[in-house]
C-alpha cells in the first residue's frame, strides 16, 4: 500500500479527514526508477519532491574538481530530491539518483501549490517537515566541523541504523566525508573495540 | 515603527487582515541587547526566534578545538538565532551575539504555537521563511565545497551588499571560512582588478 505509507508519514505531524486524505493522494504522482536512474538532474529545474515507497537514493553534488559529495541519503519513508531547486524552481546543483530499483510518490511543484489551497493543513505538514530537514542538515554541517571521523560515523549509525544496513558503504563514506577505505578500517576498529568492551 | 518592519516582512509572503495583524503583534516580545550581549547561549534551550529591528548579530559555533565559526549574520529585517534549538526545543549548539546595540521583535516558542492556532496563515509564512533559510544555508554549504575564497566573497558581496558594509570584517571572514588578513588581501586584490577593468 504505497499510499498508506505516505498517509502514515503525514499523520506523524497533522490530522486529516478522509476527504482531505483523498485530496492529498489525488495530487501525488507515482514515479519509478531503475538502479542508476536520476530522480532529478543537475542543471535542470527539479519539478518534484519525492517520498520513497521502496528502494533508496542519494542526492549528490559534483565539485568543479570532479570530486563527488553525497549530501543526502534516503530509504523507504524518506523525502529526497534537490530541495533548494524544488522550492525556488531554479536550476538544480545536485543530482538525485536511485541506488536500486526505486518507487516514489511525488508532488510536482504545481500540484503542491494547488494542494496548499485545497488542504491548507498541508502548509503545517510541510512547515514541520522542512523545519526538521533544516535542523538535521544544520546538525550535520556542525558535526562535520566539530567531530572526528569515528564520532561522525557513530552519530550516523546511531540516528540512522537502517540506512547503515541498506545503503552501499561507498555512499555512506562520501556522505560522512571520508574515503570508503577509511570507513572500512574505522568500522573494523569499532567492532574490535565493542567486542573488547563485551568481553570485560 | 518596529512593528511596521515586521508586518512588511510578513506581507512579502502572505496577506493578513488588520485583525490578524494585531493578533500577530500581540504575540511578539520586544528584546534589547547591548553590544556583545547574547540573544541565546550555547548549552541552553533557545526560547526565541528574533526579527532584527535595529543593529546586527552573529550566530556562531565554537569547535571543541576552540576555533570559532560564524554560521549566520543578520542585520535589520533578518531573522536570527539558533534555529535548530528553537524548533526542537533542545540545547543550543550555537551562540547568538549582538554586534552593536540591537533591538529585536521576537516570538517565544510558546507564543508561536498559540499564534499558529490563532492565525493559521502564519503556518504558510513560516513555511516559506524556513524554506528560504534552508535553501540559502544549503547553497552556502555547497559554495564552501565548490568555490575558492575569492568566488565565495564575491557571491556574498553580491547577495548581501548591505551586510558587507555594516558587519565587522572579522566576522565576515569567519562566515566565509577565511582569516581576516586573507579577506583583507583579497579585497585589495579585487579592488585593484575592478579599477583595472574600469580603466580599459
Q: Which residue has the cell 522542512?
A: A130
Please, are residues A51 and A6 in contact by the beta-carbon 8 Å criterion? yes
Measured between CB atoms, which of A61, A124, A131 is closest to B87? A131
Nearest to B108 by CA among B93, B126, B89, B123: B89
What pLDDT does A142 receive?
82
A61 at interface of B, judged by CB pairs closer than 8 A: yes
Q: In percent, how much of chain A has pLDDT > 90?
A: 69
> How confident is residue A2, by pLDDT bands cut at 50, 70 and 90?
confident
B109 at interface of A, judged by CB pairs closer than 8 A: no
> Residue A148's closest chain B neighbor by CA?
B64
Contact residues, chain A, for B138 at CB < 8 Å: 83-84, 137
CA distance A178 to chain B (A): 14
CA distance A10 to chain B (A): 16
Confidence check: pLDDT of B152 > 80: yes
Nearest to B179 by CA among B145, B146, B153: B153
A63 at interface of B, judged by CB pairs closer than 8 A: yes
| CATH number for domain A2-146, candidates 2.60.120.10, 3.40.1390.10, 2.60.40.10, 1.20.1250.20 | 2.60.120.10
Span A173-188, average pLDDT: 90
Contact A63 B137 (CB under 8 A): no
Nearest to B51 by CA among B112, B110, B135: B112
B66 at interface of A, judged by CB pairs closer than 8 A: no
> Residue A94's closest chain B neighbor by CA?
B142
CA distance B70 to chain A (A): 11
The Cα B35–Cα B32 span in angstroms is 10
Span A21-49, average pLDDT: 97
CA distance A120 to chain B (A): 9
Contact residues, chain B, for A124 at CB < 8 Å: 116, 120, 123, 127
Span B152-163, average pLDDT: 89
pLDDT tens per residue across span B50-67 = 999 999 999 999 988 888
Pick the range with the lowest mean pLDDT from B20-34, B88-102, B154-168: B154-168
What pLDDT does B80 receive?
95
> How confident is residue B106, by pLDDT bands cut at 50, 70 and 90?
very high
pLDDT tens per residue across span A133-160 = 999 888 888 877 778 889 889 988 988 8
CA distance A145 to chain B (A): 7
Helices (H) and strands (E) in chain B, counts: 9, 8
Which residues on neighbouring strands pair with residue B199, listed in sequence order?
Answer: none
Q: In percent, how much of chain B has pLDDT > 90?
A: 69
Q: For chain A, what is the mean pLDDT?
A: 92
Span B12-20, average pLDDT: 96
Amino acid at each position: 500500500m504505497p499510499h498508506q505509507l505516505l498517509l502514515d508519514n503525514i499523520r506523524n505531524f497533522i490530522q486529516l479527514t478522509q476527504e482531505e486524505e483523498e485530496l492529498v493522494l489525488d495530487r501525488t504522482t507515482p514515479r519509478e526508477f531503475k538502479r542508476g536512474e536520476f530522480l532529478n538532474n543537475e542543471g535542470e529545474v527539479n519539478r518534484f519532491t519525492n517520498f520513497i515507497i521502496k528502494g533508496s537514493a542519494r542526492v549528490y553534488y559534483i565539485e568543479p574538481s570532479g570530486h563527488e559529495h553525497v549530501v543526502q541519503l534516503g530509504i523507504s519513508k524518506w523525502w529526497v530530491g534537490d530541495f533548494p531547486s524544488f522550492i525556488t524552481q531554479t536550476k538544480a546543483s545536485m543530482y538525485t539518483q536511485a541506488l536500486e530499483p526505486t518507487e516514489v510518490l511525488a508532488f510536482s511543484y504545481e500540484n503542491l501549490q494547488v494542494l496548499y489551497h485545497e488542504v491548507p493543513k498541508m502548509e503545517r505538514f510541510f512547515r514541520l517537515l522542512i523545519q526538521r530537514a533544516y535542523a538535521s542538515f544544520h546538525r550535520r554541517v556542525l558535526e562535520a566541523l566539530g567531530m572526528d571521523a569515528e564520532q561522525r560515523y557513530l552519530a550516523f549509525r546511531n540516528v540512522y541504523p537502517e540506512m547503515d544496513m541498506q545503503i552501499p558503504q561507498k555512499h555512506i563514506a562520501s556522505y560522512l566525508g571520508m574515503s570508503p577505505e577509511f570507513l572500512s578500517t574505522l568500522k573494523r576498529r569499532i567492532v574490535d573495540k565493542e567486542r573488547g568492551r563485551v568481553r570485560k
